[in-house]
Structure 1
Amino acid sequence: MNDTPRLPDWLSDAQRTQLGSLGLESLLSCSPYVQSVLRRDEGLLDWLEQAQGARTADGIRARWQHLLESEDEAAVMAGLRVARNREMVLTLWRDISGQDSLSDTLGALTALADALIGLAHDWSRARLLARHGCPRNGAGKEQSLIVLGLGKLGGGELNFSSDVDLIFAFPEGGETDGERALDNETFFTRLGRQIIRLLDEVTADGQVYRVDMRLRPFGASGPLVMNFSGIETYYQLHGREWERYALIKARPVAGDIQAGESLLRELQPFVYRRYLDYSVFGSLRDMKQGIRREVRRKGLEDNIKLGRGGIREIEFIVQLFQLIRGGREAELRQRSLRSALEGAVQNGHIAAADGERLQAHYDFLRRLENRIQGLHDAQTHDLPDDAADRERLLAMMGMRSWPELENQVAEVRREVGEAFDDVFVGPALPEEQAAGNAFDDLWRDRLDEAAAEKLLRRTGFADAARVRDLLSKLRESRPVQRMGERGRKRIDRLMPSVLLLAASKDNAEATLQRMASVVEAIATRTAYLALLVENPRALEHLGRLCAASPWAAERIARHPLLLDELIDPRIFQESPEPEAYARELDELLNGCGDDLERLMDALREFQQATVLRVVAADIAGALEVGEVSDRLTLLAELILQRVLGIARRALVERHGHPRCEDPDAREPGFIIVAYGKLGSIELAYGSDLDLVFLHDSRGEAQQTDGERSVDNGLFFARLAQRIIHQLATPTPAGRLYEVDTRLRPSGASGLLVSGLEAFVDYQREKAWTWEHQALMRARPVAGDEALQAAFREARQAILCRARDHAGLKKDIVAMRERMLAEQTSGDGADLKRSSGGLVDAEFLVQYWALAHAAEHPAVVAGTGMVEHLRALKEAGCIEADVAQQLEKAAYTLRGELHARTLAGNRERPLPHAVQAAMSTVAGIWHATFD
């Protein structure tokens, strides 16, 4: 790449001469953006020749103060854009010519934003004051808007093409003192909107700044402005961890600066806790996942800001120390990254050499970022692909070849990524603790057989040979053999702690085996090794899960992303909050756009993480059996609803909306009906989903209204297929659920999707008794609300029809005998299908309910066995003690099924309580049917 960027051909001789006298040829040849400004602004070169004055906010403001004299909004908007472009060109010129340091450049860009935001505020305020008078509080004191800048603007480190993150506030309520009076909130809302308009609107002269208001309290759904009291209350009651990150750099940039600083002092306890705040590690999981999702969604792996080893990771390293220790250490309460990094080094949290290296890497990446953006004034953080732009960037960076630049970027990002891995999980396990651990020599194979056996028996391992064999296989496994020096050091620090932790468990050998499988799975993923090495709490949580559940250990080994969940100190202390499921999932999906692959992975990651949290709470005894099922059921319902929405949006975009005439034109509904454990709200770990799909399209005209129109039946069939595909297809992130659709009318030979009328006809005329038993556990879980209501009404009518008790009893007993005949051993079916198992309990309740539903409809109103039992008892259909015995037995059996799944042992001996429960169920069965 030897070509030097050239000046554009359209330059006049006079312009070429002036460029030469100013020394601007290099800048103009390197930046199409500067070329475009020069073509639009004939006075640019003269202005640059005469530009004087400080490049502070006050100095820049003084140069453009005359804009406030205009009454014409269009003229002010044009003037602000001219000011922005001229000052940007001046800053870029001084940057690439070497006149300014990086700090000078970032400071000048920030000062420019402060000045222009301030001018926009002052012009807008003057217009509103003339129209409505001055806003005052109840005591008559004048009130002013405060404009808070966040992010790089607040930190004084704005980049070349950055947007500006703002929050608007005002001290107190009241009203203006003019003839056309307004309350203060309305006044300041109008003022805020006008400021945004002056800055953000794209005109023929371009745009001043993209204004982002989403970081304000309650986000985009919140009011544009809030008074101080409202803001303080919001952060006290609703403030989230990521908002603490956002407020670290907050700074008043326009309006009443003194009042703004006062507000931020009031908010400081929210940002900086007075104690050493290690709870921040719980929110670290969310931050880390958010970065990774954004990178994956946008394909930003090579992005120098968001990608691995990029600017964001340097910022995160520093902000982590700020949030943990800033409440106690004033040196960390800094808005600028440079100052905060110096504080972390000064207080011994980062070694001096590491701090210098991080600062140098940050400076390089920020300088590169500015010059990439200076090419076209575009908000990008990617190295250009275009050959001409690469030549221009090389000239800006003073480098000779593209490989030279790429290699330097790669080396910087590698070192930043390693530094991020080292510190992002918090305080390190002391090196001497690992080195002095009694298991260190055992792991490194430095002990002879006798010494190893003595150590293992003394520390709680009964089968020394098994442990030595296990460690040998791990050392010789392919992932461990492929580790680099850095990874090997980490595993050498980790394994003694793993051995020590496993030795403390009653099932030491089994715990070690499960933990070793996780270690092997992450051996080549050094970030996860670092997480366990540097965060003893996460390692302790892993050991507790592995000791209690091979099922959980296997899931973690298969999906190491779940290790992020173990950082949260609350995982064994608090049960999951179902109310938060939808919010968490929607935040995750919103970052995926319309990319189906990313959406499917996001759904799987959320499902796996949520199930793991339920498992942890279950193991800790924080959840009852019914609560476990409730949470697993809610999770499945939520995923079905989101999957339906994703699948339907894609089909509507392709074919349009389904329409039908019956006789009125309308859009037909579609629902997902859950049967089995999902329908009865009794979902267990690893349960399949039994689903039936229904629609209510009818009439002569039944087709979609898009250009590629299809018959409604085909549309709904494809919709169901897409839903099943999203749920059941394995991806690198796993599988959501196995799906069984055989309970639909006519079973596997029937249509995948039925109309509601056809479904009802089948249930009335052709369905077997066992299908009505299944219908008792059926309920709609996603889709059109009106169709859901119609299904519930039809289901109730079908189940409440009069039945011959003798014939009903005969059918149920026959079905039970058939299931017993088909039972296989060794598959866990004994607890469910053997005499006295869960199936007997379910069949008893279904018999009673179907037999009495005609006289007592309430007995089939619910879908769960406990609901049915309690309704039967209240209606007097069965004796109270029978209902109580059966309910207690069912909970005992379900609890044992959960425990067996987690323990990975479906054939373990039955505890006495379970045997007693089965005996109770069998007794009631025989009393009822024999």
Structure 2
Amino acid sequence: MTVPQGRRSSTFTRLLRLGFTDPSAAERLLASGPLAAVRTDPVLLDALGGAADPDLALRGLGRLVEAQPDATGRRALLDTLVAAKPLRDRLIGVLGASEALGDHLARHPGDWQALVTYEQEDLHPGVAEFERGLAGADDPVTLRVAYRRCLLSIAARDVCGTTDVAETAAELADLATATLRAALALAAERIPEDAALCRLSVIALGKCGGHELNYVSDVDVVFVADPVEGADEDKAVQAAIRLASLLMRICSETTVEGSIWPVDANLRPEGRNGPLVRTLASHLAYYQRWAKTWEFQALLKARPVAGDAELGAAYMAAVSPLVWQAAERENFVADVQKMRRRIVENIPAGEVERELKLGPGGLRDVEFAVQLLQLVHGRADTTLRSGTTLNALKALAAGGYVGRVDAVQLDDAYRFLRSMEHRIQLHRLRRTHLVPEDEADLRRIGRSLGMRTEPITDLGRAWRRHTSVVRRLHEKLFYRPLLDAVAQLAPGETRLSTGAARERMVALGYADPGTALRHLEALASGVTRKAAIQRTLLPVLLGWFADSADPDAGLLNFRKVSDALGKTPWYLRLLRDEGAAAENLARVLSAGRLAPDLLMRAPEAVALLGGPGGLEPRERAQLEQEILSAVGRAEGAAQGVTAARAVRRRELFRTAAADLIGSYGTEERPAGGDPGTLVDLVGGAVSDLTAATLAGTLRAVVRDRWGDELPTRFAVIGMGRFGGHELGYGSDADVVFVHEPREGVDEQEAGRAAHTVVEEMRRLLQLPSADPPLLIDTGLRPEGKSGPLVRTLKSYEAYYRRWSLVWESQALLRAQYVAGDEDLARRFLRLADRLRYPAAGLGEDAVREIRRLKARMESERLPRGADPALHTKLGRGGLSDVEWTVQLLQLRHGGHEPSLRTPRTRQALAAARGAGLLTERDASTLDEAWVLATRVRNAVMLVRGRAGDTFPTEVRELAAVARYLGYGPGHAGDMLEDYRRTTRRARAVVESRFYES
């Protein structure tokens, strides 16, 4: 009955505000029922309002209080409830979420005291604690009561948030383990003569085996037995069957206290048609000869839980190797996919959209995807061999088999869907995976998951979002119908029409769907093994290409690589068996021109994409050793430099691939890797590679002309970005050369030799080649282009003492040894230290000169028509602004602040901040701008295949740069605006710190 607005009491209004859906009934219950003594207590009312279903919680609490044996018991319960918040939260939380556990408490009114304890061991109990909780249960009825009492504690921790969904599922599995042990002990007490004949082990499969059980679920098991010493095997097996059957009845039968859960042994060999119990030898023989793929998939979660531990361990040792060989079976992936499709097809049509577990985008899709990847990659990678879905997913992500963002999204979706499943089952403790349609049920579930404003609406929205994520990610692993439209293998089957296929290609982002379909046809048609593997790979690859800015280029490049390597046996096997390799290749091939061009010249470099280690940058010492070895085997200097350039080509591809894969973003994830880390990776890797290439070129020239030893000591000093370990893909190598005649060698002869070395190195590195050019730039030498290419150390010393200008001191800030005689280089750098870190600092005249040079460079070198706000090198807040600001600080303070003595810009920035020369905010602003500008330059080179300091104007190229920087489709404009904003802030710091300080 609706109470008129004017006649509503304050209690009614408060109950309505607290979330009671029937405040009139609640008011009556509080006024005249067993809770009348606390009807106005604000603490208790607020706690009831915090329950998932306040009305249900209030009714359950009333029944519990009423069921207490006497008035003293009722008073004690209420007093404890009001005084003890942990108990209040636990008890009311359970009563508001589970009608079934409310019924249990009404039948066993003393069991509420199981929730009083709040000790550390009570927070996360394991099997041993649950076994103590079940101790004393001497028949199936008392075992059920003890089981529900333990379940009550698990549910309380769950609804109060003391445990998360994964911990709750693990506790439920541990309780099931303890229950199986207790049931087996009861069975052995009833038929001791059978227990004396055999050793019996209970192996859990499914969610119990995976430590991820539901509140109400079948507990999947297989039984393995062996005779005790001296016993007949047949009699022992029959005894074990009677023990196992009794164990199953104890757990499954319904009594006055209900049932615990069904024990399901249908996953055993031969299923229901096979014997309930087999010996270990019989199990092994079956799995070796007859088992189907799905049976090995089921064994992935197997673990011994009860009975003879030694026999259980022997079972696991025997069958585990077979599980990890399952992926080698013929049609393995097809079998797994077929089984998944069959499960979906068997769901009643009216329930598909409500099916939380088995429907599209449901829990089973996550589990199947994870298990498929585990079985494929777990053969070689033992870290993947977990029976717990979330642990396995985490391991797959850590191993690079699943993208980090994909793994996070799947983890979030799986946790949410499992939480929904738990709340649905907890209400009446019934085995169901259907989302209810009743609004009261949906409201309770939504509130239990923290959705208090619009619980029904918010629950539906979150559920749809998570199933959509799962469906999208799961489809990456399964066939898509596009291939059927072009492969022409089954003309009698319904396939997409050519027009529909073209439309779908366009929807996926392909600008030229006709050409794309022809590529698919060329790759996937035919009955060869190669075509069959391509048909498995391409549905996944097409999705990854579609995620890029240029899907057409990705597919075209994939066809080129496949044509080049198609007859190489390891190529398609790598892509098929190593999920990370296929996705990595797709990302690399669709992200621009540089990496594919490098790969086309050395297609075997695809092998680098096969695992996480393949993309790790190599140490400089390793690179130099490989290049010097290749030079040593070459006939003549030209061939030696060609060999060095081949190594450089491969390593540039390794670096570019690692950069692209680390940078690749989606609309949901602004960036894949930390931008600063990626910039440092590229700068360090390219700089080390350039240094090793120059070392190899130097060795080739010396070996060709002079044999083992040059008449003069000779060193190459890196300058600019090269010296700073900050080279980009398209950077020249700024260097100066220094030499020192060996003892007894005429100085003129030494000078001629040194000059010949320099000229020959430059000539050989500039010979026409398909490899990316490596240009040596000597413009930072004394006297610039007017000065000699190479000087002796004494000549440098004399020049710097008498003639050096302030810009040369500034240039020396980044001087660093890169090749040749290390001792000579050290002495050169000690000489440089006196100029770049002057003890007296920098005079005002020198500061003004640096500022004048900077202003002149901005006005004279910025290309005509270039937008100063978007030029990464000379533009506002770009690389030059940041570097000159940092370098001025180094020249002024490096003489007395040793931390500033580094050729690396970001390290110098951090040192300036640490020394108090820059505020935290200013240093961070400059660092962010420098990293962003560097990444844009790298992106332009990766996308266009040639260096550039401005953003591309062509739409697809600009989109590809945006994707590299982590912007989703259609957000190139946001990228440009963010760049302007970041560099504008940096320019403000430069104006303050460079021009005014």
Please, what TM-score do these two structures have when normalized by structure 2?
Answer: 0.42
Whose radius of gyration is greater, 1 or 2? 2
Please, what TM-score do these two structures have when normalized by structure 1?
Answer: 0.45
